[in-house]
Amino acid sequence: MKIHKEGKRIIVITLGMIFAIVLIINYYHPDQSLIHYLCYLALAALLVFVVRFFRNPDRPLSIDPTIVISPADGKIVEIIETHEPEFFGDNRLKVSIFMSPNNVHKNWYPVSGDIRFFRHHAGRFLVAWHPKSSDLNERTTVVIEKSNGTQLLVRQIAGAVAQRIRCYAEEGKNVDQGQELGFIKFGSRVDIYLPLGTDVLVSVNQKVSGCQTVIAKF
């Protein structure tokens, strides 16, 4: 299993913490007991969780300019027509994907094109499935313009636990569909804003896979 670069430091810190806890436990209570074994089991489970959280799967993709692929693993929690004030200033179709701590947290570009806009916003840490999290939480906004002029907005949103977003977008950069967009640590949400009239192919509560599930078709 490949480990994402964003997780390597955290995994090393976790290993050090586990090693220290084991040393302390055995220093003060050297006689092994059931409580010792339960502590070891809990620490092992923590390590497995952290390592698994930062898994970095390879997902080959055949680029298709007519489709929008899912930028994240997770579950569709909202599909609505709503006003997008930050960049477009008009109504768009918003598709929201909630990422639980059990999902892969790597994010992908849903379409190919040029990055026309990128912003990072500090903010609050509401639970990621809360509708207001799109506007109030820490978040990044990336607008990609396809070769035909169609623009699509992707927003990474931190949740109650996720308090660090990594986004590799740069204004003016050309990106490919399926290329890595970034990584969100420990539970989060990704919103996609599509032009009105786009044929959305997913439904609320549907589970989606990043770089694999087709979200919409132009």
Burial of 85 (0-12, 13-18, 19+ CB in 10 A): exposed
Of the residues 70, 133, 134, 188, only one is catalytic, namely 188
Rg (CA), the chain: 20
End-to-end CA distance of the chain: 35
**Calpha distance 71→107 (Å, rounded):** 5
**Calpha distance 97→114 (Å, rounded):** 23
CA dihedral 121, 7, 103, 163 (to 10 degrees): -30
Cβ neighbours of residue 193 under 8 Å, at least 6 residues apart? 84, 88, 92, 93, 94, 152, 153, 154, 155
Residue 132 DSSP label: T
The residues with which 142 forms a beta bridge, in sequence order, are 118, 154
**Is 203 designated active site?**
no
Burial of 33 (0-12, 13-18, 19+ CB in 10 A): exposed
Catalytically active residues are 188
